[in-house]
Amino acid sequence: MLVQVTTLTEADISGAVTCIQQAFKDDPYNHWVFDKDNFSFERNAVSLAIRCRWGMSHALFHVAKDNDDPTGEVLGVACWLPPRSSQTALIWHDWAGDWWLWFSQVRMNMWYGRGGLNVQRYWIWKARQAEAQEQLWTDAKGYYFCNIVTVLPKAQGRGIGKLLFKHVIDQADREGVKCYLESSRAVPNMAIYEKMGFDMAREMECADDGTAITLYCMMREPKLS
Ligand SMILES: CC(C)(COP(=O)(O)OP(=O)(O)OC[C@H]1O[C@@H](n2cnc3c(N)ncnc32)[C@H](O)[C@@H]1OP(=O)(O)O)[C@@H](O)C(=O)NCCC(=O)NCCS
């Protein structure tokens, strides 16, 4: 198996969506934010495809595939938001992208409804996330933010996650920029991310109606060569 990491293309989107859905099926955050009895797999796939299309021009969106596999199955996906320096104003390209994303999501909600999404919990998570980032993101250079990283369950533990990380971590090291992620699992993910140079920065608790989940904010200092 010769796994290669490439930039996401339109042809990869369906495979990338399948990979994300499979890898996050038992994710604690997903269970908390979606009502499982009303969960719409179809609406979720549309939502992820919108995120992929947005990410193709506004994020570092990568897929891992086996070069020897003629089907081109997507084995892993990573989406990183690039660092935004505190000195840089929002450029029109980002502004237009944010609006495109918003309109696409509104259209999707009108067509599919919420698909089991607990909107109140979604906004609780967003508020906790903003608080954590406000406290932790103190570096004027900004942070590479690992927004999504998933490997198909059948391909996990074979170095694909590491390969996906390496792609951006190497770039961050060259630029002397920190990396950041929020993991929805302590075990086994924290140990995996520690292997990639991340350290625990703080916990982020999201609580609603007597049910709480904890996310783990982790930071990676650039390794200077
Ligand atoms: C987290 C995830 C992306 C990691 O990808 P992966 O391909 O399974 O990980 P790798 O095989 O590249 O392993 C990377 C390192 O972690 C170690 N590792 C892998 N699985 C581990 C486990 N269960 N416990 C401890 N260490 C582990 C590996 O040995 C390797 O260490 P090394 O640098 O010494 O070789 C993947 O397991 C996944 O998609 N999980 C489900 C979805 C998810 O939780 N996504 C993240 C949400 S925050």
81 in a domain, yes or no?
yes
CB atoms within 10 A of CB 161: 23
- Flag whether pLDDT at 88 surpasses 80: no
The pTM (predicted TM-score) of the whole model is 0.94
98 in a domain, yes or no?
yes
208 in a domain, yes or no?
yes
Domain of 138, in residue numbers: 3-220
66 in a domain, yes or no?
yes
Q: Which residues line ligand 1 (CB under 6 A)?
A: 23-24, 149-151, 156-162, 183-185, 188-189, 191-192, 195
23 in a domain, yes or no?
yes
Token readout for 187 is: 């075990």
Interval 167-178: pLDDT, tens: 999 999 999 999
The total domain count for the chain is: 1
| Residue minimizing CA distance to atom 43 of ligand 1 | 150
Mean pLDDT confidence for 177-190: 97
Residue 159: the pLDDT is 96
225 in a domain, yes or no?
no
CA atoms within 13 A on the CB side of 123: 2
The CATH number of the domain holding residue 199 is 3.40.630.30
Interval 34-85: pLDDT, tens: 999 999 999 999 999 999 999 999 999 999 999 999 999 999 999 999 998 7
Cα 201 to chain centroid, rounded: 18
Rounded mean pLDDT of the chain?
95
Mutate to test the pocket of ligand 1, among 148, 151, 198 (most ligand atoms within 8 A of CB): 151
